Amino acid sequence: MSSTRISLGLLSVWIATASLAAPSADLVIRNAHVWTGAHSAEATEFAVLGERLVAIGDAQSVASWIGPGTQIVDAHGQRIVPGFNDAHVHFSDGGGALAAVQLNDATTPAEFVRRIGAQAAKMAPGEWILAGEWDESKWPGGSLPTRQMIDAVTPHNPVAVDRYDGHALLANTAALALAHVDRATRNPDGGVIVHDRSGEPTGVMKDAAENLIRAVIPPPTHAQRRAHIERALAHAASLGVTSVQDMAAPHEDIAVYAELRREGALTARVYVASPVDTVEDQAKLGIGHAFGDAWLRIGAVKAFADGSLGSRTAYFFNDFNDEPGNHGLLADTMHPLERTRGYFMRADETAQQICTHAIGDRGISTILDFYAEIAARNGIRDRRFRIEHAQHIAAKDFDRFRDLGVIASMQPTHAIDDGRWAEPRIGHDRASRTYAFRTLLDHGVHLAFGTDWPVAPLDPLLSTYAAVTRRTLDGLNPAGWFPEQKLTVGETLSAYTAGSAYAEFQDHEKGTLEVGKLADFILLDRDPFTIDPTTLRDVQVVSTWVGGRQVYPRHTP
């Protein structure tokens, strides 16, 4: 055999051997303080290939993945945690609210009116003034606003500004006229038109009554929806939110998400729960839960059982303490109950995940009844039923959450907000089972945390502060409002990462930093595990990475 033939044979062997060698990583993070979320495991380094983690541990574990093309980032000992997954947002609405009139921190009626007037002065005649997120509980006396307060400063613009919980809005006289709402207009099922002593509408529309106004508001264009969502994505990235679960998003928003997905422009992963009355649309296409890819998925439906505590429309077994005769409302979609039962049965038969807003104890109990009936009729399987908010739970129902495998999708910031005024409305006993994080966790219930943005700020570190300290926003509960319901930092982060991933059937893909999972992570400027818990709300996100790609700040360190 000639030397040439021998050399060629050796070269072939070398090429074949080289082709079997492990590829080098695209990214290696070094010198970090990594909380993986997996059984509280810690690490100092990890490697990313494509969008996934391929090694995690210490320097020795990662060394073989470093090649000439590997980007190496020194974390300088900073804390790294899995990216936050907000289990309940209204994403397009949140993006729109960022550019709208800001009313939530208006602490007097005069300031409320001034801000609306300033917004009107910037707008074209006939253009609607929307969003706002006002909160009358921050005003002296806490009286609801009226149309008369804002008519003089909005002579050329219809107004429909939302209460911060989304369960009431204030319309001015121009908006009421466009909607043909007057003293003779009857309350719709699941809604209330507030009237003054003379019988005239004040402009406040609660729950289903809001739809009378919303029906005459021009829907946003595709370009406007895209602008809202792009603004929301940038805001989410700045806060370390790498996944969102968009509740009751219309098909038009899904179209924007799909467009951004095709362009590679999504910077957060999105799971959409469509309104429950669209259940047949997904059923006809054979779309069940978590249909799609790692960036965009659909296959859930969102229903409403009742209203909110702030609007006194949450559905309770007993009356509100401060409003005898009123025990809240069943939502309009619950009229009649048989229709809702039909939606739920159809969703379950076609493997769509059911997510239901329920706040009052009777609203929650009614939905648990529905879920139990579905499981009994259609058999046991991994459904991951969800109750969104799960705020005021009857003592008898904690075991039912566990036994039915129902996920409590909760928003900790609501606890330190509502805690300012909840007890006078529902009394100490019911309040003791409000945002009962510890009781649920001790019962073996899966928790998934989020914010309900724009109802509350999208900031996960504020939510972490809320769950760990339960210090109300008014500063009157320094030891915590019902402190027995506090969680640890680790328990809170787990609910906000692994718990939220479980709630969307993605716990095998994300929520913890483990080999094979998506490389969604954030660097923090302080370690939430070691600082004074009262400073958790001040922790800042240094950088946010989704699938190994830095999305905040928009440059490579």
For residues 98 and 196, membership in a common domain is answered with yes
Q: Are strands 42-43 and 33-35 parallel, antiparallel or unpaired?
A: antiparallel
Q: What confidence score (pLDDT) does residue 556 get?
A: 47
Q: Which two tokens stand for residue 118?
A: 């300033």
Domain end position, chosen among 149, 182, 214: 214
For residues 66 and 172, membership in a common domain is answered with no
Residue bearing tokens 């760990």: 468
d(CA 451, CA 413): 7
d(CA 93, CA 228): 7
Q: What confidence score (pLDDT) does residue 3 get?
A: 42
Q: What confidence score (pLDDT) does residue 7 get?
A: 42
Q: What confidence score (pLDDT) does residue 555 get?
A: 61
pTM to 2 decimals? Answer: 0.90
Q: Look at residue 276 and tell me if it is in a domain.
A: no
d(CA 452, CA 90): 7
For residues 95 and 210, membership in a common domain is answered with yes
CATH of the domain at 52: 2.30.40.10
**Cβ atoms < 10 Å from Cβ of 185:** 15
Q: Look at residue 267 and tell me if it is in a domain.
A: no
Q: Look at residue 161 and tell me if it is in a domain.
A: yes
Q: Look at residue 39 and tell me if it is in a domain.
A: yes
Q: Look at residue 237 and tell me if it is in a domain.
A: no
Q: Look at residue 269 and tell me if it is in a domain.
A: no
Q: What confidence score (pLDDT) does residue 333 get?
A: 87
Residue span of the structural domain in which 183 resides: 91-214
Backbone dihedral angles phi then psi of residue 31, each to the nearest 5 degrees: 55, 50
For residues 41 and 139, membership in a common domain is answered with no
Q: What confidence score (pLDDT) does residue 166 get?
A: 87
For residues 126 and 56, membership in a common domain is answered with no
User: What angle in degrees, to the nearest 10, is found between the helix axes of 91-98 and 222-238?
Assistant: 90
For residues 204 and 100, membership in a common domain is answered with yes
For residues 153 and 53, membership in a common domain is answered with no
Domain end position, chosen among 165, 184, 214: 214
Q: Look at residue 166 and tell me if it is in a domain.
A: yes
Q: What confidence score (pLDDT) does residue 345 get?
A: 97
CATH of the domain at 170: 3.10.310.70
Ramachandran quadrant class, 169 (left: phi over 0; alpha: psi -120 to 50; beta: rest): beta
For residues 98 and 187, membership in a common domain is answered with yes
Q: What confidence score (pLDDT) does residue 420 get?
A: 95
Domain end position, chosen among 214, 233, 266: 214
For residues 198 and 124, membership in a common domain is answered with yes
Q: Are strands 353-358 and 386-389 parallel, antiparallel or unpaired?
A: parallel
For residues 195 and 119, membership in a common domain is answered with yes
For residues 35 and 106, membership in a common domain is answered with no
Count of domains for the chain: 2
Per-block average pLDDT, block size 10, for the chain (557 residues)? 41 40 90 93 96 97 96 98 98 94 94 96 95 93 95 97 93 97 95 96 96 96 97 98 97 98 98 97 95 98 96 96 96 91 96 98 98 96 97 98 98 97 97 98 98 96 98 96 98 98 98 98 98 98 98 75
For residues 103 and 176, membership in a common domain is answered with yes
Cα distances from 336 to residues 189, 205, 316, in angstroms, run 9, 21, 18
DSSP, res 334 = G
Please say whether the beta carbons of 317 and 362 come within 8 A: yes
Q: Look at residue 474 and tell me if it is in a domain.
A: no
